[in-house]
Amino acid sequence: MKKTVRVFKFGGASLKDPEAIKNVANILWPYKNEKLVIVVSAMGKATNALETVVEAHAARNGKAFDILNGIKNQHYQIMDSLFDKDDEVYALVNDAFVEVEWVLEEEPHENYDYMYDQIVCIGEVVSSKIVHAYLNKTGLASQWLDARDVILTDDIFREGWVQWDETVERAEAKALPMLDLPGFIITQGFIGSTTENFTTTLGREGSDYTAAIFSYCLDAQDMTIWKDVPGVLTADPRVFENVVKLDRLSYKEAIEMTYYGAKVIHPKTIKPLQNKSIPLYVKSFVNPDGEGTLISDEVDDTYPPMVAVESNQVLLQISTRDFSFVAEHHISYLFNIIAEFRLQVNMMQNSAISFSLCINDVDDKADRFAQRINDKFKVMLDRGLELITVRHYQDELLNNLRRGKIVLLEERIRDATVQMVVKDVPLIRRRQNVAAS
Ligand code: ADP
Ligand code: ASP
Ligand code: MG
């Protein structure tokens, strides 16, 4: 029999320093007597910093230990503000870092993505240990749960796919009994494990998704993600002016926006919630009493125009080497390899002699893909592009967005969405005649 549980997720920004962690505890106080599963990300930008440890270790440039020590010190500084010197949390956090030191003492692993996951996971592990210890210290009883004991993935490192049946079983076996104990459950976002107990990660920014996995498995009453914005806005406030908060959104609308790059929620988050009609609240940790945004089953309303911009896109123009048309069998061949590489295709277009794909330019994936199909296809790559998605567009807004840009690909999907892949117009300056006439 399932219990009434709510799931909260706190991201890096909400845990970036001692004051932020105290603020999280304040947010949690009113829920003291409720059953909460709290999913936390790595603190601040710890994951980015850990990525540089992995890069340094792979490059054997001798800097990996120094970078790791810097990260360790940042965590110790935060702990020094929250705990007495003899608190047992120091030993727990130290033990976690020692595991990474062991990895660094070995030769770099030949599988970069495997090595990445074994190192980068530590950000969430130490963050959850610190938050767990701090909540207990302030009188908010909580249990620490290793998310890797619950979330089972396949063994594609850095992009583990959740094995849902086993994960549900493991959640019922591990997490459900913990709900009978007093206090909250604290666990980590972003990480899972393979059947051989190797740590995997779910893809960058994956902690929102973890919270949705727990919500699904435990039939949560609702889920709340606490962000540095008042809720879901019509566009990223770091990029656009005059954005407004959306009070309510349908799952469908939220899926469309996040899939195409509205960074406020990880794109995989909504579907598990939609499947069980679990409401999702996006709220501000800066103003926790604010109403936020509610994402739920409600019928589609009318929405204002919304814009999502995904940068770091690469356009691949693929044509056959023998100048034949790009026919069905070519496309089927290409799709198989796209699946093998787990490329997220953001846009595609087919003409008689070429097939265009717009994908996220992650690591050297695009080059490896081009290399893989090189014997049959010629591939031209155009990098440094932006994918702009506009929902509920107005022509004036589209014209504004196109200003100063070259549009390489554009598509209208039914009457609600316009997508375009753009690059900046190169600055052409007139040669000045400096010689005095
Ligand atoms: P977390 O701390 O959980 O990792 P993120 O930094 O990933 O949170 O997400 C919050 C950020 O998402 C905001 O600071 C904002 O700049 C950005 N963002 C992008 N698109 C939107 C949008 N449509 N509405 C709100 N925030 C957005
Ligand atoms: N810490 C991970 C990242 O920065 C996961 C997350 O924050 O959601 O990507
Ligand atoms: Mg994030």
Output 321 or 107, whichever has higher pLDDT.
107
pTM of the predicted protein model: 0.92
Band (433; pLDDT cuts 50, 70, 90): low
Which residue lies with its CA nearest to atom 3 of ligand 2?
205
Whether 306-424 and 6-220 are alike in CATH topology: the answer is no
Dump pLDDT digits (tens) for 93-105: 999 999 999 999 9
The top-level CATH class assigned to 306-424 is: alpha beta
227 within ligand 1 shell (Cβ under 6 A): yes
Average confidence score pLDDT of the chain: 94
pLDDT-wise least confident of 3-17, 236-250, 291-305: 291-305
In SS3 terms, the chain reads as: CCCCCEEEEECHHHHCCHHHHHHHHHHHHHHCCCCEEEEECCCCCHHHHHHHHHHHHHHCCCCHHHHHHHHHHHHHHHHHHHCCCCCCHHHHHHHHHHHHHHHHHCCCCCCHHHHHHHHHCHHHHHHHHHHHHHHHHCCCCEEECCHHHCCEECCCCCCCCECHHHHHHHHHHHHHHHCCCCCEEEEECCEEECCCCCEEECCCCCHHHHHHHHHHHCCCCEEEEEECCCCCECCCCCCCCCCCECCEEEHHHHHHHHHCCCCCCCCCCHHHHHHCCCCEEEEECCCCCCCCEEEECCCCCCCCCEEEEEEEEEEEEEEECCCCCCCHHHHHHHHHHHHHCCCCEEEEEECCCCEEEEEECCCCHHHHHHHHCCCCEEEEEEEEEEEEEEECCCHHHHHHHHCCEEEEEEEEECCCEEEEEEEECCCCCCCCCCCCC
Q: Parse the chain into domains and list their residue ranges.
A: 6-220, 306-424
| Nearest alpha carbon, ligand 1 atom 2 | 11
Give the nearest ligand 2 atom to 266 CA.
Answer: 8
Q: With respect to CATH, is domain 6-220 assigned 2.30.40.10? A: no
CA 228 to ligand 2 centroid distance, Å: 15
Q: Tell whether ligand 1 has an atom less than 6 A from the beta carbon of residue 124.
A: no
Residue 5 has pLDDT above 50, yes or no: yes
Q: Which residue has the higher pLDDT, 1 or 44?
A: 44
pLDDT above 80 for 183? yes
Please tell me the predicted confidence (pLDDT) of residue 28.
98
- pLDDT score, position 263: 87
Q: Is the pLDDT of residue 435 over 60?
A: no
CA 12 to centroid of ligand 3, rounded, Å: 6
The whole-number pLDDT of residue 3 equals 58
Average pLDDT (250-257) is 92
The predicted structure's pLDDT at residue 436? 45
Mean pLDDT is lowest, of 5-14, 39-48, 196-205, 334-343, for 334-343
Share of the chain above pLDDT 70, in %: 96
CB 270 near ligand 1, within 6 Å: no
Q: 41 in ligand 2 pocket by Cβ < 6 Å?
A: yes
Ligand nearest to the CA of 264: 1
How far does the centroid of ligand 2 lie from the alpha carbon of residue 47, in Å? 6
